[in-house]
Structure 1
């Protein structure tokens, strides 16, 4: 691996942008565009609400599998895995433009979930560990919100032009292809850099030691700043609760808006969810450095809990918009705080902590809809699922303080 200490700031910014585009495609398009498409697919008769929930659960299960598979990959392969995640996402989007049965749609969403986990873990490790651009985290994770905004507005514009859901999936695939063409050269350049060095553990250790000796003082200050952060096991636990907490809003928000406020285009509310995520990464990154990991994480999760439970108070356009902005403005912030902390404490555990955290998040995302479905069946309302999600986020905030 190349020593990144002397890399030009402009080059590192381009690498952060490339990582952000990987997440925009793999997460914003591959994972979250389904939320905006869900009501349209139901309207077109492609799926019903039950089949849509199955497809969503399949996606979360795929995300969990992808995270587990990523737990043992070599860091030197991160750039190639980023590229493969983009190819896989584009293929899944294109397949959904075909006339598939509900069961095949669930299979495609399962694969898309696995690919999105690859994108998140690979892009995070590529930028934070391989490139060594630790301060690029907010720009990297802003890519998730960017992908949500862009894909949601593509859906909204296409729907206004009376495109059916199949045509919209094809349009999303084309847009993802364009974004991947922008990211590909930077990832290919890093591949060439990595291939120029012998890919073995001894060389990696020697280079790591050389970099460490050149930045001992900086690392000491970094360690002091993050010493108050949660330990590895607490970090994994609270991250799993965070996955459970946000997923009800992230899965059902457009459907909730459509049922409660018929005059509002639910896709625009969903776009607000992504719009809140883009600048929030920079805000939470600053708060993390200003107040430390414990306080910033606890605050992030409490604000997120408030956003999740806000529609319980009143079902109106303003409360749904506020919920979208608050949850969208915090859920990627959780990642922005947690992943750099994970990188700091990775050497204290014998497992790939970033992949393990992603897996825990995936478990939370699977349990969230299952619990929501059970509660909804009893009450025929989403109030209890939203309250349960909010309580999970409050519990996660409590863990962050330990």
Structure 2
């Protein structure tokens, strides 16, 4: 791979990657995770069970899985930048659909579309961010972590808006929140459409690159468990805070703390992300993520919930970054899109199965605390699995 020419101030790597991060900001931070903020009101107004509520994230995750499976072909046909932009626009459309209808099928389709767009944009964006970061090899891991902090911006911004919209308009105003999220997403998508993201650097024929599963199977299992475990926390914690007596301010504060954690992630984990030792960096970060998810098990105090949000959030955003660092360390540039797509598929399978399964457990046991127990346990086992992944023999 030929390194890109030294960029001008308008195409500085950090600036471009921050603009690229608006893709996962919209697709994940708002498109997926803002659902947790609206879920309690939707469930009450529309008469959903926890299983039905979980299904909405399951169908979103199924779309994400399908998008991950199709990403390499989309990148080959349309290019990295176009895949990111069209994927993000699909997420914006899905938000608008959620505001238009209370029909379960229409809402399910909207959540499916959000998943498809988010995955395509995420795989394309991750590969493009890795390519841009190579222009500054000494800072590549730090630059990559800027991309993966993107969802935190969406979580923070939606957390500062959604609870107060619900409070202002009262029960049944969930659809107004979706309109607010749509407008927020539109504003964040504009820079992504205007930025000069079509890099001259080539990463080879990504779609034609073979990716062998066997050498990284244990690592993929760990990432699958992360996908299954984190989504329960991110789906049901706002309902947990509300059930514990937290009003709009408490819900906003909790969600915003998770989002704020993203801003320190690049500095907290940059040395860990630089470890070229197989799955070690993922094990460390995922272990901290599991601790954050487990803390609400020990009580409902505001202090404990705040610490949980901070610890969970600061590790959550870095886990995904650690998988891209693993791919970058162990595969040639031409294999990066295929490698990132494989990781995203494992993650997508996990988060497809996680929400509806945990929702069923909650319906059966009658308490959200059981969902959090299962979530923390899966994250811990995922950290252990990643520890068994060694370095791969690099191929030129």
Distance 1:350 1:27 in 2: 21
> Is 1:333 the equivalent of 2:305?
no
Distance of aligned partners of 1:293 and 1:107 in 2 relative to their CA distance in 1, 3 Å threshold: same
Residue 239 of structure 2, aligned match among 237, 250, 255:
255
Tell me the equivalent position of 2:22.
Answer: 21
Residue 322 of structure 1, aligned match among 304, 307, 310:
307
Tell me the equivalent position of 1:225.
Answer: none
- State the 1:2 CA deviation: 7.6
Contact 1:86 1:180 in 2 (8 A): yes
- State the 1:249 CA deviation: 0.6
Distance 1:322 1:71 in 2: 39
Distance 1:90 1:24 in 2: 11
> Is 1:268 the equivalent of 2:253?
yes
- State the 1:13 CA deviation: 1.8
Tell me the equivalent position of 1:157.
Answer: 164
**Residues 1-400 of structure 1: matches in 2 within 5 Å?**
3-8=3-8, 11-45=12-46, 49-74=50-75, 77-129=79-131, 132=134, 134-135=140-141, 136-162=143-169, 164-186=173-195, 189-191=196-198, 193-194=199-200, 232-263=216-247, 265-289=250-274, 294-347=279-332, 352-400=338-386
Distance 1:87 1:47 in 2: 29
Q: Any gaps of 5 or more consecutive residues in structure 1?
A: 206-229
Q: CA deviation digits over 1:273-295, x for unaligned, max 9? A: 22223322432223222685644
Q: Any gaps of 5 or more consecutive residues in structure 2?
A: 389-396
Tell me the equivalent position of 1:226.
Answer: none
Contact 2:294 2:372 in 1 (8 A): yes
- State the 1:84 CA deviation: 0.4
Distance 1:85 1:294 in 2: 29
Contact 1:311 1:323 in 2 (8 A): yes
Distance 1:268 1:79 in 2: 35
SS in structure 2 opposite 1:69?
A: helix
Q: CA deviation digits over 1:46-79, x for unaligned, max 9? A: 8564432221211111111111111444367110
Distance of aligned partners of 1:23 and 1:67 in 2 relative to their CA distance in 1, 3 Å threshold: same
Moved more, 40-49 or 264-273: 40-49
Distance 1:201 1:357 in 2: 19
Distance 2:321 2:151 in 1: 11
Distance 2:204 2:259 in 1: 40
Distance 1:29 1:351 in 2: 24
Distance 2:291 2:251 in 1: 21
Contact 2:233 2:293 in 1 (8 A): yes
Distance 1:350 1:278 in 2: 25
Distance 2:384 2:32 in 1: 29
Distance of aligned partners of 1:364 and 1:281 in 2 relative to their CA distance in 1, 3 Å threshold: farther
Distance 2:338 2:286 in 1: 24
Moved more, 24-33 or 378-387: 378-387
Distance of aligned partners of 1:80 and 1:273 in 2 relative to their CA distance in 1, 3 Å threshold: same
Distance 1:180 1:375 in 2: 37
Distance 2:275 2:203 in 1: 38
Distance 1:200 1:308 in 2: 40
Q: CA deviation digits over 1:101-140, x for unaligned, max 9? A: 0221111101111111112111101111366353421111
Normalised by the length of structure 2, the TM-score is: 0.84
- State the 1:198 CA deviation: 10
SS in structure 1 opposite 2:134?
A: coil
SS in structure 2 opposite 1:278?
A: coil
Paired residue total:
372
Distance of aligned partners of 1:370 and 1:101 in 2 relative to their CA distance in 1, 3 Å threshold: closer
Distance 2:292 2:79 in 1: 38
Distance of aligned partners of 1:350 and 1:268 in 2 relative to their CA distance in 1, 3 Å threshold: closer
- State the 1:24 CA deviation: 0.8
CA RMSD of aligned residues (A): 3.0
Normalised by the length of structure 1, the TM-score is: 0.83
Distance 1:123 1:90 in 2: 17
SS in structure 2 opposite 1:370?
A: helix
